[in-house]
Structure formats: C-alpha cells, structure tokens
Structure 1
Amino acid sequence: MGVEIYIGKNTEREKRYIDLKETEANHITFLGPSGSGKTTVERALAEEIYEKVPGALVIVIEQKYDKNKVKDLNDFIKALAKIKGKEFVKENFYEIIQYLSMVANDGIKYGKMGDFAFGWPNYPFSIISVSERDRHSILSWHGLKPKRFPVKRIVFRPVRDIEAIEKDNNCKVVDGKIRYKDVDFSFIEKLAQINRNTLYGRIIKQAWDLEKRRDPKLLEQFAEEWQTKYRPNSNGPSTTYLSILEVANLLKQDVIFTKHKDFTSELSTDVINVIDFSANSELYPEEEAWIVKHLVNFVVKKYVRFRNTPVFVIFDEIQNILQYYDGKLAVEKLHREGRSNWVNIIAGTQYMYGLPAFLVYGAAHIGIVGRIASADDELLLSKVIKDFKRIKEPRAKTFKDYKNLKPQLKGRGWFSFDKMYTERIYFRPPQSL
C-alpha cells in the first residue's frame, strides 16, 4: 500500500508523482544554494503530504523567518487593486489588509513571518505568471489554488510576544517547555557550562542522572546531604555546595523548564507542527540539537512503535543540526526507523558533500533545486545517481547570462526517482505563503 504525492511537472508538462510506500523508507534529500527555492519546495511537499497521507504526523524544523513575505503580500494587494479595484480588495482580503496595517504601524513587533508560514494562503503565486508565453499563474499551471493550512508553531524561550508570532504566521503558537524529568545531564551541562570532571559536576551528574533527582529543589536537597556528610566540620558552605546551588537556581529561573507538560505533548496529526528554531526562539545550537533528539525519541516511542503512525520530519538546512552529536543521533535514529516503519526524512541542504553517508546514499530520492552549488557535490552525485549525465548544469559565460539565468532556475531543477531515473522538474509550488 502506498500514497502518491505530486511533486511537479517535467519539461513535457507531464505531472510527476512520488509513490510513498508504507513498507519502505522514503527519505528525500534536496540540494540547492541559498535563494534557489529549496525551502519553498520543502514547504510544498509538507502541504502535499499533510493532505494526501491520512493520519500522518508532519513535523517541520524551521531555521529562520522571512521578512520578504510581507513585501510579497503588499505587492499582491497593490497589483490586485489595480486589476480589480480597491473595493474588491477590501471585500475579499480584509484579513490581509488588517495585518499589513498592523505591520505598517509597528514594523518592529510584527512583520517576521516564518519560512514555513503555512497559515497564510499563497495569493502572490495566484497572479504571477508562470512565464511570459503562458497566461497561467504559477499555481494554476499546476492545478492548485491558494490555501491556508492548520498549524501549531512551537517556540522556545520566545523573544517576541506570542500574540505577535501568531499574527505574523496566522496560526496557533505554543510556548515550548521541557519537563525537568525529561532533561538529562548533557542538556544542563551545556546550559550551565558545567565541567563534568570537577567535583561539583560529578555530584550533579550523580544526583540528576543516576539517582533521577530531576528537580532543582531535589538537587538542592542532595547538595545539603552531601555537605552534611562530607563537610560536617566546615565553618561555612563549601565552594562545591555553592556551585551546585547556583546550577539549581539557574534551572529554576530558566523559563524553558517546567514540572508539568512537555512540548512534545503539543504534537498533533491534525495540524502541521512547526518547531521554531528561528530568531523567535532563544536557543544555543547545542540546545536545538538536544531538543531534536528529545523530539525524535518521543515520536518514535509514542507515534511510530505504539500507534503505527506515518511520520514525516522535514529539516530545513539539516547540516546545522548534524554539526552536533545529539542532532546526529536523532537523524540516525529516524533513518533506522524508516527501514521497518513509515518514518521519512525530508532534508534540505546547501551542500551535500560532508553529510553522513546514510543521508546521501540512503535517500530514496535526491532533488536538485536551482543548481549544484559546488564541484565536490557534482563529483559526489555523479557516483550516487546512475544517470547523472542527464543533469545539465547551466553555465553563465557573461554577467548578463547570470542575471537572466538566476530567476529562471528558482523553484526548478532535477529530481532523481529512486536514483534510477532523473529528469528536469518544475517543482510543485506551495499553496501557503
């Protein structure tokens, strides 16, 4: 049993689909330089999967927001007003006008839409023509219409008001929390910059991981017991004791922690789940990698093995997560689960050379958006894709060639089906902004 999802048209204008089989890993790796439309293609696939795969858990790991989306909406409203008149725009697009007014009056608080702003319909693509010779819009050429999708966006240590993030993305936003009981020593070691080879580091590790006293108050209690047992005749509190109390106090004050509901409980198959690692969240890269590891462990346990749910995790700029040990562990776990369960990784990256072999060689499909960004990748892909010779890289011989080629390549490229058959593809555009 499988599900076909639409990915775009070839040069003969024939529609192309990927057959997602329940019994196989359907990992897809997209390659493309910055600004090539790689994220746009990933967003389109997320929408297609959400609509076509019943009961799927769709999770997007977002890396940044895009201020240009506000300009796109502004340009759309102005263009439509010229074509249809201001009254038509007021009657049919009041929600957008209201939002744009908010941004104009407070461009600091608002105006930072996510790269995956599924909550806004992609109206601009409904009036931009697919080419000078074709009257179809980018959307209608693919048989699509603008559409908003239900989204739950999870932010961590939000740096902006939740209400502002909700308005920008037209969706529900949740302040992501991590339960003390789920946090291992490796997380607080990075957070508090603890040297595990020091005495106080070893004591915290013993209390937190070995004895499972995963609560700041219990950690303080453990420190007092240690002080009483090993420093009974001390004239005052030892530096070790004070260092442990300092870490406990840091854990109590950090807004990311809670005793109650963990952010993983917010996941749902009824929405597209966006894990917001953009500038909306205040996180160190190591913390992002740990959160992904925690997320994957929960999803595999609760959704894959217990509920037998199809899972699709979309990583934008996956190389950022893979730089860290926890991130690599998480992606490897997803890859292993995909062999026997319906677990799928859709990864976007600027450079494929240097990625783990399982992402390059283990990907069922490889998409190239725009062009190949490096000679190393060209050499690597020639070994991975059997008919790589079919891929004809555009070469700009003059600056004018470059200026003409760049816009023509955006959102277009090549797609290798099972690494056996490769052809030029005009990728499916997203129905959301």
Structure 2
Amino acid sequence: MAVSIKQPTTQAVDIPYFDPSSGPYLGRLMNTNKKEKLYIPLKVGEANHIFMLGRTGYGKTSTMKALAEALWEYYHNQGKDVMIIIFERKYDYSKYQRLKQFWRKRIEELGKEEAERRHQFLAQYFKLQEQHPQLKHMLGFPGDFAMGLPNYILMDTLVSIKPYPVNIFTWHGLKPRSYPVRRIVFRPTRNIYAIKLDNGPKTEVVEGKIHLKDISFEMLAKKFDIPKGTAYGRILRKYWKVYKIHDPDRILHLAKTQEPVRESTLESLQSILEEIKADPLYLKGNLTKTGQEHKPFTEYLTTDKINVIDFSDNSDLDLEEQRLIVYLLWKKLKVIAGKRRVDIWIFFDEIQDLIGTAGEASRHNLAWLAMEELYRKGRSLSVNVVAGTQYLYKLPMSLIMGATHIAVIGALASPKDLDILRVAIMDGDKLNIPIEHDSFEEFVKRRKKKGRGWFSFDREFTVKMYFRPNQSF
C-alpha cells in the first residue's frame, strides 16, 4: 500500500482524537496528506464500549488484538493497572505454517546465528519445540490471540519503497513485541505445556475449573443425560436444586440413609455421581494431583498479565458451559471493580456465537444476561466491552446502540448492516462503505483492504483510516 511516510509535526492539539494523552493509539487517518495519528479518547465515568464489524479476512481479529495491545501500553505508560480479558474462539494452524516459513527464510537470508540474535523470541519458540519431540503431534496450533510471541511476519509488509523501504510497523511508530499472557483452558484437549509452547515464551497456561455449586440441576441433567421421571433423577434434583447440596459424596450418603428406594436406584444414582466427580471441569476437594491448590477460574484473573479465556478447541466445552463461564466471570468482575477500582476491558471475538442472534438472546441465555448487565453497569464500574462480529443485523439492537464507538474493518457482509449503521451513527448518511459479494474480484481486493476501514468516534464523527497493526502474533 502506497502512502505518505512523512510524520506529522508535533504540536499542541485540542481535539482529543489527535491527542496522545487522551487514550490509546488507534491508527492513522487515510484521506489527508499528513496521515495524522488517531487516539481513542477514554472517558472517565462513562462507558467506552466499542463495536467492531468486518467480514472474515479483512483483519477484524487482528485489529481487536492491536487494540488490546494499545490499551495495555497506554495504561502502563500512565502508571495505572488495567485488567484485560479476551475470549478467544479458535486457534489457527495456518499461522504456525506462516511463522515457520518466515523463520526458515530468515535463516537462509541471515544465517542461523544472526537470525537467532535478531529474533530471540522466535529462536526460543522453535528451540523449545525441538527439545520436546514427544509433543510434536500436539504442536502447531497458536491461538488467534497468541500474544506471547512478537509478530515478526508483518515486518515484511511495506507501506512505501521510495525514497527508502518503510515497513508497516515503522510507519506507525511501532515494532514487534510480545506481552505477558495468562491463558485459561477448560478440560484441556491437549497437553498444557504444548499450548504454552504454541503461544509463546511469555505465556502462562492454567486449567480453569467451575464450582459445582455454580452448576444448575438443569445443566447437570442435560450434560449427563439424566432422564426425567426416574427415581434417581428425582432424588438428585431434590438434594441439588431444593436443598442446595452439591457434594456428590454427601448426596449419596443421604440417599442411602434417608431415601427408601431400591438398590438398583441407588446404583444408578451412584453411577451418575461418580461421572460428575470424574469430570475435570468441576471443582472438588482441596488439592490437585500435583499438590497445587484448587481454585475457580475467576481466581486466576490478574492485572499483571493479559487474560485469555480459551474457548478454542484447546478447551472441551459445550455452548451452555461457555455461556455459564461468561456469566460467572461477570459476577466476579463486579466484585473486583467494586473493591479494586481498576479499569476492566473485555474482548469478545465473534460475539454472536455466545449470545446468539436477536431472536435467541433471552433471559435463559446466561451470556446475554451478562452482556445486558455489562452494558448497563459498565459506566459506573469502569468495565468496557469490545465486541467483534461479521453481521450486525442478526444481533440485538440494544447491543449496537449501546456502543460508544463503532469500527468497520475492510467491508460489510450485508447491505442490511449498512442500513443499521446509517441509523446508529449520526453522520451515517454520508457513509459509503463497500459491501463484499462472494466473487473472485472481491477476494483479490481483500488483501488491499486488510487493516483499513472506518472508525466512528462517539457514533458522531466518522473517519476513514489505517488501523494500527498487531505487534504480537
């Protein structure tokens, strides 16, 4: 992409969108000679919810990751704590292949010793993999938010070649870097150390668990296929739902001593309770096999690292369990925000997967209940939501109209979304955002549009811009 490489002059600016002290760096203006740098003005005492819209392939997830990086840097440069929580939906084998190809190319160009000196994180990443051949079949699946590794690959992306080559990082005043990450996985589907290796040296991986008391009987019955109308099902429901007893051993003891039932009923009840006890997701007892203390996943949340809630295939979770985790997280965040007075940012990539469509969002959807409260109480608690999706028209309008800022990355997927934007944004009638159709021509154009788009500040002032690149992998 050919752009002006002249840096804007440094001067006092009254407009917050151009003021570095007002908030994190977002990117640069597109349709001006100076390509001025833009910043998101963070408002104290108000919600700063951001909605990001973009079709697959245009860099929506990368832009969300770049925003998380910008927030981390902004708060730490200000000497403030911030809690960043990211819900990751998938891992990406193709990313690993591109990284491997880049590393081989660097070794060929520079020699192994010089390549290792210049790219120490990358050298360590592949060296650790070589040292653990027994994990080879489990490796090669970094997450969409593999922020423990620097994004060296983008160093080859040039924005200008005259009068001298300038890569995309240099143009934005950035460089590849990694961030400290705590990744929480649930019922891990592969070795936890393999997950750590895949996501970079600065990544810590912990196994998340849920208290049995937080599991409703309805969810339990669905998960373990407990038929309605059975004698052992009625007994379990009575103790679990009515008497609020969630200890499998205690329930079995009470059933044996207080329930006048047949031996076969007790055997069926015991079988179900043993399955519940064996499930690694549920928190039971005080110590793990390694001697580490058991604690619920919410106790791992920290301001010292970026928190990634791993909903990719690294975790064996069904949709109801994912929604429960979102709800339990929000309950914990209300306590943290009230006691510690720390700003909290929650990132939801592909938000529609969790809350469902407008017709599916209801009081029975725990993720939607949490999202409603997040939007209502975010202002008073300094809890902010960054939500990404491909389609607007399928989502509840309250989610869209409750956003403070709206971003469009690349192109829209539906003309219905443009109609919604023209209602949601005050200067929306002036928007001329392309709508991609499934054609080969659009596929070819996608690369050029990647990382470009529109940002509507306060849903009032919309600019066309180059979004900052993601510094981490």
> In the TM superposition, what is the alpha-carbon distance from 1:75 to its structure 2 partner?
3.2
**In 1: Cα distance, 2:436 partner to 2:320 partner:** 39
**In 1: Cα distance, 2:229 partner to 2:273 partner:** 18
Q: Deviations over 1:133-169 (max 9, x none)?
A: 6722111111001111000000011010011001001
**In 1: Cα distance, 2:454 partner to 2:398 partner:** 21
Identify the range of structure 1 (190-199 vs 164-173) with the bigger mean alpha-carbon deviation: 190-199
**In 2: Cα distance, 1:196 partner to 1:311 partner:** 42
TM-score by length of 2: 0.83
Alignment of 1:111 with 2:140, yes or no, is: yes
Q: Deviations over 1:41-81 (max 9, x none)?
A: 11111111122222111100000001122223223324434
- Pairs within 5 Å for 1:233-312: 236-237=262-263, 239=265, 241-259=266-284, 260-301=294-335, 303-312=336-345
> In the TM superposition, what is the alpha-carbon distance from 1:402 to its structure 2 partner?
2.6
Q: Which residue of 2 aligns with 1:45?
A: 67
Cα separation, partners in 2 of 1:57 and 1:95, compared to 1, 3 Å = closer
Matched letter for residue 277 of structure 1: F
**In 1: Cα distance, 2:394 partner to 2:434 partner:** 24
8 A Cα contact 2:415 2:435, kept in partner? no
> In structure 2, which of residues 198, 218, 221 is the aligned counterpart of residue 168 of structure 1?
198
> In the TM superposition, what is the alpha-carbon distance from 1:282 to its structure 2 partner?
0.6
8 A Cα contact 1:370 1:411, kept in partner? yes
Alignment of 1:332 with 2:359, yes or no, is: no
SS of match in other structure, 1:381: helix
Cα separation, partners in 2 of 1:52 and 1:98, compared to 1, 3 Å = closer
Alignment of 1:76 with 2:110, yes or no, is: no
Identify the range of structure 1 (384-393 vs 245-254) with the bigger mean alpha-carbon deviation: 384-393
Query: Structure 1, unaligned stretches of length 5 or more?
Result: none
SS of match in other structure, 2:251: helix
Q: Deviations over 1:75-120 (max 9, x none)?
A: 3324434554443113333552453466686652111000000100
Matched letter for residue 224 of structure 1: K
Aligned length: 425
> In the TM superposition, what is the alpha-carbon distance from 1:335 to its structure 2 partner?
1.4
SS of match in other structure, 2:138: coil
SS of match in other structure, 1:358: helix
Q: Deviations over 1:358-380 (max 9, x none)?
A: 21000001111111111221111
8 A Cα contact 1:390 1:422, kept in partner? no
8 A Cα contact 2:412 2:434, kept in partner? no
SS of match in other structure, 1:339: helix
SS of match in other structure, 2:149: coil
RMSD of aligned alpha carbons: 2.5
Alignment of 1:125 with 2:143, yes or no, is: no
> In the TM superposition, what is the alpha-carbon distance from 1:125 to its structure 2 partner?
1.5
Query: Structure 2, unaligned stretches of length 5 or more?
Result: 1-15, 285-293
Matched letter for residue 96 of structure 1: L
**In 2: Cα distance, 1:371 partner to 1:209 partner:** 49
- Pairs within 5 Å for 1:56-71: 56-71=82-97
TM-score by length of 1: 0.91
- Pairs within 5 Å for 1:210-225: 210-225=242-257
SS of match in other structure, 1:26: coil
Matched letter for residue 224 of structure 2: A
8 A Cα contact 2:186 2:209, kept in partner? yes
Identify the range of structure 1 (382-391 vs 306-315) with the bigger mean alpha-carbon deviation: 382-391
**In 1: Cα distance, 2:437 partner to 2:394 partner:** 29
Matched letter for residue 209 of structure 2: K
**In 2: Cα distance, 1:200 partner to 1:335 partner:** 42
Structure number with the bigger relative contact order (C-alpha 8 A, sep ≥ 6) is 1
Identify the range of structure 1 (58-67 vs 305-314) with the bigger mean alpha-carbon deviation: 305-314
Cα separation, partners in 2 of 1:50 and 1:398, compared to 1, 3 Å = closer
**In 2: Cα distance, 1:316 partner to 1:340 partner:** 24
- Pairs within 5 Å for 1:64-213: 64-81=90-107, 83-93=109-119, 95-97=121-123, 99-100=125-126, 108-131=137-160, 135-170=165-200, 171-194=203-226, 200-213=232-245
8 A Cα contact 2:412 2:435, kept in partner? no
Cα separation, partners in 2 of 1:185 and 1:336, compared to 1, 3 Å = farther
SS of match in other structure, 1:223: helix
> In structure 1, which of residues 374, 384, 395 is the aligned counterpart of residue 424 of structure 2?
384
Alignment of 1:362 with 2:362, yes or no, is: no
8 A Cα contact 2:57 2:446, kept in partner? no
**In 1: Cα distance, 2:67 partner to 2:337 partner:** 21
SS of match in other structure, 1:425: strand
Cα separation, partners in 2 of 1:399 and 1:353, compared to 1, 3 Å = closer
Matched letter for residue 167 of structure 2: S
8 A Cα contact 2:180 2:306, kept in partner? yes
Cα separation, partners in 2 of 1:76 and 1:332, compared to 1, 3 Å = same
Cα separation, partners in 2 of 1:400 and 1:208, compared to 1, 3 Å = closer
**Could you tell me the percent identity over the aligned residues?**
40
> In the TM superposition, what is the alpha-carbon distance from 1:245 to its structure 2 partner?
2.5
Cα separation, partners in 2 of 1:82 and 1:199, compared to 1, 3 Å = same
> In the TM superposition, what is the alpha-carbon distance from 1:387 to its structure 2 partner?
1.4
**In 1: Cα distance, 2:48 partner to 2:412 partner:** 22
8 A Cα contact 2:158 2:168, kept in partner? yes
8 A Cα contact 2:22 2:41, kept in partner? yes
